[in-house]
Amino acid sequence: MKFDIITIFPNLFEGFKKEALIARGIKKKIILINAHNLRDWTHDNHKTVDDKPYGGGVGMVLKTEPIYDAVQSLERKAKSAKHKTKVILFSPRGKKFDQKIAQKYAKLDNLIMICGRYEGVDERVAKYIADDVISVGDYVLSGGEVPAMLVMEAVSRLVPGFIAKKESADKKDHAQYTRPEEIKINGKKRKVPEVLLSGNHEKIKKWRENL
């Protein structure tokens, strides 16, 4: 699975790529993460990616042309590699991301993600360039980079080989305890539920299902 990210802050992904399961997935060549600088697709000396909004209003808006050029060039590469590809734009007004969408994306070969910044992105990107407009929740962030990391974390887990124990890849977790059996918190003794110490696997399974 190849993730292409179009962003004005590609360095934000450096740390993300270097640690934990994501780093291992990259090393094992199960996933590939390419963060592209949107400014590379500008054609003026100032490498302009934003402009004032039509109709007035505060702040700046990301322009369509560099994004369009970036998507076209990445799509061309995907096409020549015969990759199943989708282009997504992050927006707080998009469709809410969930496990079902993650499963759908995990079946692709290539996910191209467009990260907004400032006051957002020229609406023509949502209307005519992106296949999906995705929100990661009902709050407003300052950019699409954290949503891109969130989508990559959820989708990578579902790519075959990424998680060693496949059965845990798309399960929600249940309450977990580890040693010690008893610990003092604010002066009170807090114990691990008795059933988990019982060794009775049937009972433990039921307890977990009923949480």
User: Which range, of 29-37, 79-87, 143-151, 198-206, touches ligand SAH by CB under 6 A?
Assistant: 143-151
Minimum distance of ligand SAH from residue 161's CB (angstroms): 28
According to the 3-state scheme, what is the secondary structure of the chain? CEEEEEECCCCHHHHHHHCHHHHHHHHCCCCEEEEEEHHHHCCCCCCCCEECCCCCCCCCEECHHHHHHHHHHHHHHHHHCCCCEEEEEEEEEEEECCHHHHHHHHCCCEEEEECCCCCCECHHHHHHHCCEEEECCCCCCCCCHHHHHHHHHHHHCCCCCCCCCHHHCCCCCCCCCCCCCEEEECCEEEECCHHHHCCCHHHHHHHHHCC
- Identify the residue among 34, 48, 73, 135 touching ligand SAH (CB under 6 A): 135
Applying CB under 6 A, does 121 fall inside the site for ligand SAH?
A: yes
Applying CB under 6 A, does 69 fall inside the site for ligand SAH?
A: no
- Identify the residue among 49, 116, 149, 157 touching ligand SAH (CB under 6 A): 116
Cβ proximity to ligand SAH, 78 vs 125, nearer residue: 125
| Closest residue to ligand SAH: CB criterion | 116
**Chain contacts with ligand SAH (rule: CB under 6 A):** 90-93, 115-117, 119-121, 135-137, 139-141, 143-144, 147
